[in-house]
A and B are shown apart, each in its own frame.
Chain A
């Protein structure tokens, strides 16, 4: 029924709705730089009409805010998470590779190659001057230098391994914290929405958490009817509703295994994200650090074994061992398979008395033939090492390569990996920017747009207020100016 105050009612609903819309603009502007914030839009709708009270039939009754829309594309959301996982994977790889490059110091001329060059050169000089004690001292010094370089690289690789292990543990802790938060938000969202309220801000926060989770591993997120999400990791549920499963890191013998705390089952890690990057790098078999360490150890083993084989001789007064484990036993037996770089060293007997370094086949002072033979190992492939024919080659060493070949192989491999990581990082960055701009185009706050909206709503508000004034004037006319005929 079109009552006298009907128009006032319409103006009131307009004032209220425009004000809500203005509030939304204010909220958007306030959160323009809040990470993960999705711009919100008040959806206005007519309040419905009534039929036939007066001529013209259907009459509108005003406006209402039916919903605060959260501008978000779940498709872009998923894409952005995937790209983020990729990016974090490669960023982590790039960081590790850069550190490895810094450890090997090639091709700067301060690396292992130079130490080897100096060592072979020292042996040739000794071969030229087998009479000289000074040359023996020099060979020993260069031997120390070579061994120290080996050990230094190995030490740095080990400490890199340790720091990556710590990073992996931190990352797993982070997963647990994030999973717990997602589960809690799930519960809150379900509760709020059950009461018919919109949980926009909570949804934003959950999305942000899921993105953070995606930095650690590529998450598989499934939405449920009740607006809570399930997070899958390696075929099992990490978060489901308000429940979540904890992960833990098993301190393995020489590797780190990520397991489900509940039943200690191994987590099948996905291929992207920081955790995958870390755990791949740390893998005791296929991991790049383990591989390099193993190859270095293999080089050291072959090297000391063959040098000793050339050095060993019939002379009872001279120890056979020149390089190897610290030898304290008299019978010169070395178990080369037990060699570890940490305690690899020159034979202290030879170090104490350089005269024991055998330069020649005979004790004659001018005989440099052994030194010459040792120096010739520089170009000898492993398959031609005289004293190693019956023993299997250490893992990862091709039989037809020399020491320098193996080392060049390591450096080449490192270079290719680092280059790949660098390139992929740049690519993923570009891709992420691409997705982010699409996302931003949907969810981002544009200040110009908000200012325009502000004007729009402000004008509408002013107009509604004017409506109210007009209605007021109408009533004034009706109440105060009518019925005065003949007065």
Chain B
């Protein structure tokens, strides 16, 4: 086969181009520390990278949702604990107040303390996180509980303005009053406790006791009603009423609050678990992502070195081959 100088030059150029192409790609990989810089570098890996990257963004939102849920639940839990303490104190006062030998002055001091406890419980019911009231259902911007007083200043009832949810149905179908956080794909955590769930007693008719046209509602047989009844009984000296009926009702209320607290604790656990799961998934996804898109720098450098070497060889050999012609040797 005849080999002409043009052929040699063409081949040299093609070989140089091929090596340059390789070096260029390796340079991209080295500079970005990524193996895949364009879909054509690895179409399958590109799809995987897209999914993992999107998944990571989502997981970090889930994680912060779980944190957010945890905060919200912790505040709720704290309020319920305080409510629990308040109920204990009410029980003590009720037992002490159910004594027919008490003087007018003693009864008055019990009534005053009960008023203060009721005040305190209203404050607990109006617990807020960064301006949002936790016990008001979807009505998060207005304090859900308020004290209604008679003309002479005594507390007559406590009104509830929060949303009233159907607490027997969970998850509720379309319209409900639950506040949820998505803590995993399709996994929703209900984080709020409704005012009527905690302070009410079981499923109640919010329109009981005269408030026939909807909220503000007074609470049926709930915490405030029992507390007010006990206060009234002590003020009136109705010892039998307390010992026969109201202590039992107080006990019921107590149990209701306890059951809500159990639920809240369980939810806190779920939030923690969700967070742990999300963190684990994030770590796994991160690993998989770097496997899919990350360049093995040692390999890149090695391949770059060898590509560079062959580039140099091609140049050196080319320079040697192209130079001499017969012309040099003719006189």
Contacts and interface: CB of A to CB of B under 8 A. Distances in A.
Contacts of B39: 101, 104, 106-107, 411-412, 414-415, 418-419
A368 B2 contact: no
Interface string A333-367: 00000000000000000000000000011101111
Interface stretch (A15-23, A61-69, A116-124, A218-226): A116-124
B151 to A, nearest CB: 33
A117 B57 contact: yes
A341 to B, nearest CB: 21
Contacts of A375: 182
B42 interface: yes
A378 B182 CA distance: 13
Contacts of A433: 10-11, 14
Nearest to B21: A426
B50 A113 contact: yes
Nearest to A433: B14
Contacts of B3: 437, 441, 446
Q: Which of A32, A98, A128, A131 has the most CB of B within 10 A?
A: A128
Contact of A451 (B40, B68, B326): B326
B163 A364 contact: yes
Nearest to B141: A365
Contacts of B46: 106-107, 411-412, 415
A408 B50 contact: yes
Contacts of A360: 138
Interface string A426-457: 10011001001110111011111101100100
Contacts of A108: 37
Given A376-B186, A412-B39, A451 B325 contact: yes
A58 to B, nearest CB: 36
A279 interface: no
Q: Which of B2, B6, B41, B43 has the most CB of A within 10 A?
A: B2
A327 interface: no
Interface in B298-317: none
A349 B321 CA distance: 75
B6 A32 contact: yes
B137 A361 contact: no
Contacts of B40: 97-98, 101, 414-415, 418-419, 421-422
A33 interface: yes
Interface string A66-105: 0000000000000000000000000000000110010010
Given A121-B57, A433-B10, A416 B43 contact: yes
A408 B50 CA distance: 7
Interface string B147-174: 0000000000000000100000000001
Contact of A437 (B11, B43, B138, B140): B11
B263 interface: no
B7 interface: yes
A3 interface: no
B115 interface: no
B209 to A, nearest CB: 24
12 contacts: A101-B39, A104-B39, A107-B50, A113-B54, A117-B53, A120-B58, A361-B174, A418-B39, A429-B14, A433-B11, A437-B11, A448-B5
Q: Lowest 6 A-B CB distances belong to which pairs? A: A415-B39, A415-B43, A366-B140, A418-B40, A364-B138, A444-B4
Interface of A: 32-33, 97-98, 101, 104, 106-109, 113-114, 116-118, 120-121, 124-125, 127-128, 131, 360-362, 364-369, 372, 375-376, 378-379, 404, 407-408, 411-412, 414-416, 418-419, 421-422, 426, 429-430, 433, 436-438, 440-442, 444-449, 451-452, 455
Given A124-B182, A365-B141, 15 more contacts: A107-B49, A109-B53, A116-B54, A364-B163, A368-B180, A411-B39, A412-B39, A414-B43, A415-B47, A422-B40, A437-B11, A440-B4, A442-B2, A446-B4, A446-B5
